Amino acid sequence: MKARLFLSTVCLTAAVSLSAQKSATITLQPDQANEVIPKEIYGQFAEHLGTCIYGGLWVGENSAIPNVNGYRTDVLNALKELKVPVLRWPGGCFADEYHWMDGIGPKENRPKMVNNNWGGTIEDNSFGTHEFLNLCELLETEPYISGNVGSGTVEELAKWVEYMTSDGDSPMANLRRQNGRDKAWKVKFLGVGNESWGCGGSMHPEYYADLYRRYATYCRNYDGNQLYKIASGASDYDYNWTKVLMDKVGRQMNGLSLHYYTVAGWDGSKGSATNFDNEDYYWTLGKCREVEDVLQKHINIMDQYDKNKHVALLLDEWGTWWDEEPGTIRGHLYQQNTMRDAMVASLSLDIFHKYTDRLKMANIAQVANVLQSMILTDGDKMVLTPSYHVFKMYNVHQDATHLPLTIACDTMNVRDNRQLPMISATASKDNSGKVHVSLTNVDLEKSQTVTINLADMKLKKATGEVLKAKNISDYNSFDQPNKVVPISFKDMKLKNGLLTVNLPAQSIVAIELD
């Protein structure tokens, strides 16, 4: 823990009252820059759930909605702009009921199934292995396959790996060729089950550990394709699961997953995505920031078994989880996405950047029409959410060198006695030498004068953009798709190595320094 202190953001509680404090200071520490922010921190997640796949990503070649080989043209172009580095599929809970052979071959011959986890919807399997991996090629994104351990077999997953990645004269490679794909795909990330403690089989960690070792043994590398095998990890605060997996599996896995949702609670209502008060808003951000403590505790356990950090931690599900929108199908998890969700995205990414010595991937849930979506669709209409805009504003940090920083700012005591800093920030330096600073003012009422010490980096020019809204509950609808969008930001001054920023209330600002 002490070795990681220089990466921590320090927020100091001022002696004066919150109402009198309207300033903050940030100091960059480029001399302590040791870690690159993996682009996979900006990963996405697409599950067969609601209209994430059907209607969100895929409409079919014969649809009246403009498409490229069945993929929605508008969504495809929006995701290209987002620079999605990795896409996880087919679940989620769906993965452990999915049998991949049902999703290959002529579409008219593919059997239907009931999506038991998510509303009992009939799944026609028209979007399967070829459709997903070809989408990844179009997006130039790395596929992350979640394999069926809960209701599948070792043979089934082993044959799927062969089908996707073998270029030899093997039965599964030849079956792939019969289905129209001659050359094997490159598939790096392989999840061995999902939430095996719950919807993926209700297993004990000791049992799953042995099961993982068996599955991983038979999922082989073919023709130069090197699998990065990921064990199904813990939910939130289940530190024993991580302890058992590190003890029983260790370096036989390349990565261990973790899931963390910002959710009010599992008993009854999770709260409305759009109808909330100020107390709800501040509590949400406090719960969001608690992911840092959760990450630290799981990382500390992993450090006890793996001091050289050979096994990565992958937060492959995260985001907000609210009640489904009124009038939508139960079990489809469709929720609106407000400026509050954008705040959760920015604060979370700021935290993730600090732990990339161990944290190597994060996948927000989900890419379209489900939970904290990047994109919402309705027929031929598409809207980009505030969370989408945060990811686009932040994608400059992908594969850039993280610049540790300290913050001196005020804090607020929120429900459950959480301390919520009013300012959040992160910074990085890209390969061209440009420095990017992302700033968030979570205060609903007060702007902040933020002074940033650039530590003699000899930066001479600053440009920026800001994402803000009149109300924290504002969102982009199909009738008003541009209610919350980034605009140019100029309220800053760069002089003598200090950048002074007048940061508006409830805003997210991205600054490029050259």
Residue 317 catalytic?
Answer: yes
Contact 205, 198 (CB under 8 A): no
Contact 47, 94 (CB under 8 A): yes
Query: For residue 428, which amino acid is it?
Result: S
Query: For residue 31, which amino acid is it?
Result: D
Q: Is the sign of the CA dihedral 192, 369, 470, 78 positive or negative? A: positive
Rounded to whole angstroms, the Cα distance separating 291 from 274 reads: 23
> Exactly one of 131, 317, 324, 465 is catalytic; which is it?
317
**DSSP per-residue letters across 145-173:** EEE--SS--HHHHHHHHHHHH--SS-HHH
> Exactly one of 142, 195, 292, 465 is catalytic; which is it?
195
Contact 201, 149 (CB under 8 A): yes
Question: Which residue bears the tokens 């109808």?
Answer: 275
Rounded to whole angstroms, the Cα distance separating 322 from 371 reads: 7
3-state helix, strand, coil in the chain (%, to 5): 30, 30, 40
Quick count: other Cβ atoms within 10 Å of Cβ 477? 14
Burial string for 392-410 (b: 16+ CB within 10 Å, else e) reads bbbbbbbbbbbbbbbbbbb
Q: Please enumerate in sequence order all residues whose Cβ is within 8 A of that of 383, keeping only pairs 6 or more positions apart, or say none.
A: 375, 376, 377, 476, 477, 478, 481
Q: Please enumerate in sequence order all residues whose Cβ is within 8 A of that of 228, keeping only pairs 6 or more positions apart, or say none.
A: 188, 189, 190, 254, 255
Catalytic residue numbers, as ranges: 195, 317
